[in-house]
Amino acid sequence: MSEKINTVGMLYLSATPIGNLEDMTLRAIRILGEADLIAAEDTRHSRKLLAHFDIHTPLTSYHEHNKLEKGPELVEKMLNGAIIVCISDAGLPGISDPGAHLAMLAVEAGIKVSPLPGANAALSALICSGLDTTAFSFYGFLPKTGKKRRELLATLSDRAETLIFYESPHHLLGTLRDLSETLGDNRKAVAARELTKKFEEFHRSSLGELMGFYAENEPKGEFVILVEGCTRSEAQPQLPEEPLHLREMVEQLEKSGMGRKDAMREVAKKLGISRRDVYQEMLKFNP
Ligand code: SAM
């Protein structure tokens, strides 16, 4: 549905393609063409994209390093009636890219803020990952090194939802190694590479295997890393404090008609411990 562009100033945040130019939406093309000004992360980069779609709206730069001076200037223009579209180099502005601060300033100034939705690497990777999509946390780029990185990693191991990270090819291996150390080699993980581009690839495996693979094969291109959330059995890896509890569980299953071996296997699965541990605990009572 086409809407009439506002006559009072407003801010649009527009998606741009993450690799495939055909992912530019018709609505984004139209509004970018009708706006008074486009605030772009990198004007040289965006000029090429806009030229491709025959868009000739004036461009101004808006990025991490000038946002504190440029943001209020843009807000002033919008308060004076300008329609401004903010774009980043790829995907959604504000997602590991400039844009969020401008949206905040505009909201504070009572300016209407509206999305022009479209490509985004994290969600595109998530929906094709084969991992749970009902709950997920997006972390963008992990802090490169140091205390902040360690502190964040330490909070991840018990998270039950799918975890999503961005990473450059140069740091991919280090990040896989740290995730593996924190979450375990066996945790299911997916490396989504070069989405929407010619060499798009989903490597669905485990953190340990991905690490081995990229140690042998130099990572190339852009990556999203997705990791399965913590499962209940992982979250409770210790033996129950009260062994009787374990025995009762086995006995209950036996009463319901299950053979002892199957009952022990079932209890081991429920408690997230090995069958051998269950067997040894049972031996204490039935030597
Ligand atoms: N704003 C963008 C978005 O909405 O997805 C993210 C920009 S962030 C600066 C760039 C990172 O996003 C890359 O390092 C990579 O992790 C991820 N990314 C961007 N395009 C991608 C693609 N085509 N395939 C895989 N990952 C991509």
pLDDT tens figures, 42-62:
999 999 999 999 999 999 999
Can you tell me which atom of ligand 1 is nearest the CA of 95?
1
Can you tell me which atom of ligand 1 is nearest the CA of 93?
1
If you measure from the C-alpha of residue 181 to the centroid of ligand 1, how many angstroms do you get, rounded to a whole number? 24
Indicate the angle between helix axes 169-183 and 207-216, nearest 10 degrees. Answer: 150
* Contact predicate 175/215, CB 8 Å: no
Q: What percent of the chain has pLDDT over 90?
A: 76
Helix locations, the chain, DSSP H: 26-34, 43-52, 67-79, 100-108, 121-129, 146-154, 169-183, 207-216, 232-235, 243-255, 260-271, 275-285
Can you tell me which atom of ligand 1 is nearest the CA of 94?
1
pLDDT tens-digit profile of 98-108?
A: 999 999 999 99
Q: Which of 13, 14, 16, 18 to mutate to test the pocket of ligand 1 (most atoms within 8 A of CB)?
A: 18
Which pLDDT does position 30 carry in this prediction?
Answer: 98
pLDDT tens-digit profile of 65-77?
A: 999 999 999 999 9
Which pLDDT does position 285 carry in this prediction?
Answer: 64
Q: Which of 23, 165, 166, 170 to mutate to test the pocket of ligand 1 (most atoms within 8 A of CB)?
A: 166
Number of helices (H) and strands (E) in the chain: give both, helices first: 12, 10
If you measure from the C-alpha of residue 122 to the centroid of ligand 1, how many angstroms do you get, rounded to a whole number? 7
Q: Atom 11 (ligand 1): residue with closest C-alpha?
A: 166
If you measure from the C-alpha of residue 144 to the centroid of ligand 1, how many angstroms do you get, rounded to a whole number? 17
Q: Which amino acid is at 142?
A: L
Which of 84, 74, 87 lies closest to 25 in space, CA to CA?
87
Rounded CA-CA distance 137/161 in Å is: 7
Q: How confident is the model at residue 237 (pLDDT cuts 50, 70, 90)?
A: low
Q: Which residues line ligand 1 (CB under 6 A)?
A: 18-19, 88, 90-92, 95-97, 120-122, 166-168, 192-197, 222-224
Per-residue tokens: 265 = 């296997």
* Strand-pair category, 188-193 with 223-227: antiparallel
In this structure, of 52-61, 104-113, 222-231, 267-276, the range with the lowest mean pLDDT score is 267-276
If you measure from the C-alpha of residue 18 to the centroid of ligand 1, how many angstroms do you get, rounded to a whole number? 7
Mean pLDDT to the nearest integer, 229-252: 69
Can you tell me which atom of ligand 1 is nearest the CA of 166?
16
pTM of the shown model: 0.81
Can you tell me which atom of ligand 1 is nearest the CA of 141?
16
Does residue 241 carry a pLDDT above 60? no
Which pLDDT does position 7 carry in this prediction?
Answer: 55
Q: How confident is the model at residue 286 (pLDDT cuts 50, 70, 90)?
A: low
Can you tell me which atom of ligand 1 is nearest the CA of 165?
16
If you measure from the C-alpha of residue 224 to the centroid of ligand 1, how many angstroms do you get, rounded to a whole number? 7
Q: How confident is the model at residue 282 (pLDDT cuts 50, 70, 90)?
A: confident
Q: How confident is the model at residue 166 (pLDDT cuts 50, 70, 90)?
A: very high
Q: Which of 24, 25, 64, 96 to mutate to test the pocket of ligand 1 (most atoms within 8 A of CB)?
A: 96
Cα-based angle 84, 86, 90 (whole degrees, multiple of 5): 155
